[in-house]
A and B are shown apart, each in its own frame.
Chain A
Amino acid sequence: MPTELIRILISLVAFAAAVGLIALVMVWVERKVCGHIQRRPGPYEVGPWGLLQPLADALKLMGKQLVMPDQADPFLYWLAPILVFVPVLLLYLPLPVGDGLYALDINLGVLLIIAFAGFTGLSMILGGWAQNNKYALLGAARTVSQSVAYEIPMLLSVLAVCFVSGSLNMAAVVKEQGTWPWNWNVMTQPLAFVIYIVSALGETNRAPFDLPEAESELTAGYHTEYSGMGFGMFFLAEYANMIVVASVATVLFLGGWQGPVLPGPLWFLLKVSLLVLLFVFFRWTYPRVRFDQLLNINWKWLMPLAVANLALTAFFVKVAQYAFVK
């Protein structure tokens, strides 16, 4: 067996375990932060500071009966929750967690992540369609227009960074950035960073862009009819995707594992968790936007800004090439 395959297998297992653990912690963090923002204690009954609450929730979800609505499409119905989770593990493969600490050394890492991130939207559409439920279908329809729209500015902003670093290899992008915060790409590409964060929220269906699952309008949106672990998979995938977009932001804009004093992986985790905490804060601060507003933000603001940013970046990169690299 080639060592590369063994490496990928081991890291896949590690990532699967990490994703499960991180999702549990994230559920706890989300509820705790939400509680404190609303001046409540949040979960505190199960375990110290309520730390075991998500575990209890997970056990409850696993113990629940899996129900399928009448006249639903059984194949697609059960395929969707599996399909939503499998590519998530793939997204972690090219992420450099530390110096040389990555599963897959691939020179198209950014492209791989962005390509497979589209699977999440696909499985949401499948699930929404298969349920034979109007709310789920509406949620699925919203997912389509939202993720298609927000993928473009996200890609353009990522591309701007890749122009600067001259590579699609995530490890190379991190290496190219320096140790100190002023050496990171966020200083040279602040607009791209903002665009990336906004469209990442849109891509992962996080509030204020959580229209596909808008509780007050669509019950639960695309996963309305799912019970037990069917719902649990969607839930898990949402948090896993959140970690992925935060990790990509860290790698591309915040210097990845680079940082003073502390070891690399610790810096990486620190940056990712700060970003995720920011996302959680966004969720409990901003009200959900209307659907026309959502699309207006994207097509009228993010898209032109991202294109302009990319064009400017490309121009300056070329100028720099002519001026300094003969």
Chain B
Amino acid sequence: MNAIKQAFRTVSDLWSLMVGLRVTGKYFVEPQRTVRYPWKAVSTVGTFKGHLELVGGTKDPFKPRCISCGMCAISCPSGCITVVKRKPPKPTPEEEKAVAEAKTRGEKVKDQTPKDPEKFLYDFSLCSLCGTCMENCPTGSLRFSHNVYVAGYSRNDFQYDLVLQLREAEAQAKPARREARPAAESEA
């Protein structure tokens, strides 16, 4: 009796073959998921976690928010970040005089040194993209870029200065903006 039942089950299980064919048949006629890369790029580059980059301020998007506190460099487990602070600017004779006067009056002198870093050295070849620096940044000045096209011939190609990168981005963006404006005016 059991054997007959089992035989019937085997035969009825043949239906699963049809189910399988239906699945592959459905996929066969559906559009493909592959993007033919050199001609087309995927639209989900925004989800890519690339190397670090500095975040610009709200007023000037090309001036980093960074205050050179160095928390990122301390927290980095791979030690791939070095923040070089700016040297205080050489004071003019009037300023020196004003500072000296303030000191004689016993007032506290405000440090005039700009807070943004001189250099933000970042070794991408060491970075493990853990994001600890981002979490520890008090000003939210770090983020992962979406640059999927990073490539280089040697290890040295991945020694970045992020401040320099921001400046390059500015240089690239500015002429574009200048070109865009007259075009818009002429249209108007």
Residues in chain A within 8 A of chain B (CB atoms): 33, 35-41, 44, 281-282, 284-286, 301
Contact = CB atoms under 8 A, between A and B. Distances in A.
A269 B10 CA distance: 35
A281 B24 contact: yes
A37 B24 contact: yes
Interface in B12-29: 17, 20-21, 23-25, 27-29
Given A38-B27, A39-B27, 9 more contacts: A35-B32, A36-B27, A36-B32, A37-B24, A39-B30, A39-B34, A41-B34, A41-B36, A286-B20
A40 B32 contact: yes
A285 B20 contact: yes
23 contacts: A33-B28, A35-B32, A36-B28, A36-B29, A37-B24, A39-B31, A39-B32, A39-B33, A39-B34, A40-B32, A40-B33, A40-B34, A41-B34, A41-B36, A44-B36, A281-B24, A281-B25, A282-B21, A284-B24, A285-B20, A285-B24, A286-B17, A301-B10
A285 B21 contact: yes
Contacts of B31: 39
Contacts, number: 36
Nearest to A40: B34
A43 to B, nearest CB: 12
Contacts of A286: 17, 20
Interface residues of B, number: 16
Nearest to B21: A285
B28 to A, nearest CB: 5
Closest 9 CB pairs of A and B: A285-B24, A39-B33, A285-B20, A37-B24, A40-B34, A36-B28, A39-B32, A37-B28, A37-B27
A36 B33 CA distance: 9
A281 B27 contact: no
Nearest to A45: B36
Interface in B27-59: 27-34, 36
A286 B16 CA distance: 10
Contacts of A282: 21
A246 B27 CA distance: 25
A41 B25 CA distance: 15
Nearest to B11: A301
- Name the residue among B17, B20, B28 with the largest chain A CB count within 10 angstroms: B28
A307 to B, nearest CB: 16
Contacts of B27: 36-39
A47 to B, nearest CB: 16
A189 to B, nearest CB: 18
B13 to A, nearest CB: 12
A35 B36 CA distance: 13
Contacts of A301: 10
Contacts of A36: 27-29, 32
Contacts of A37: 24, 27-28
A38 B34 CA distance: 10
A30 B20 CA distance: 18
A115 B65 CA distance: 83
Contacts of A285: 20-21, 23-24
Contacts of A33: 28
B158 to A, nearest CB: 32
Contacts of A39: 27, 30-34
Contacts of B29: 36
A193 to B, nearest CB: 14
Contacts of B23: 285
Contacts of B20: 285-286
A38 B27 CA distance: 7
A35 B33 CA distance: 11
A279 B28 CA distance: 15
Nearest to B17: A286
Nearest to A33: B28
A275 B174 CA distance: 64
Contact of B32 (A41, A281, A284): A41
Contacts of A41: 32, 34, 36
